[in-house]
Amino acid sequence: MGVIGYGLGVVGAGIGIGLAALGATSSIARQPEVEGRLFTVFILASAFVEALALIGFVVTLIA
């Protein structure tokens, strides 16, 4: 059951990172000169989202 719950949690994180990547790629396509700064923001946002999925993973394993 825990594994199924973790899978459900990953759906959210997947949507989140997908949206972040969508925003980053379309912004870079419009304004290629901001790529360097956008990369930082994108990595930061992905790390925020990814942390939620990883908390789910670790809680699945520990609990």
Partner 1 sequence: MNPLDVLGEEMDELVNSFSSEPIVGDLNVGLTQYTFWMFVAIALLMIVVFVFKKKQAAAGMLPKGRFMNGIEFLVEYCRDDLCKGLLGDSWRRHFPFIASVFFFILANNIVGIIPGCKPGTGCIGTAAALALVSFVYFIVMGVRSKGPIGYLKSLAPAGVGFPMNALVWLIELFSTFLRLVTLAVRLFCNLFAGHVVMGAFALLSTLFLEPLLQGFSLTALGQAGASAFWLAILLIIYAVEMLVAVIQAYVFTLLSAVYIQIAESTEH
Q: Which residues bind partner 1 (CB under 8 A)?
A: 40, 43-44, 47, 50-51, 54-55, 57-58, 61-62
Q: Report DSSP state, residue 42.
A: H
Nearer to partner 1, 28 or 54 (CB): 54
Amino acid found at 19: L
CA distances from 4 to 1, 10, 30, 56 (A): 5, 10, 39, 11
For residue 43, the minimal CB distance to partner 1 (Å) is: 6
35-62 vs 2-30: helix axis angle to the nearest 10? 180
Nearer to partner 1, 15 or 43 (CB): 43
For residue 30, the minimal CB distance to partner 1 (Å) is: 22
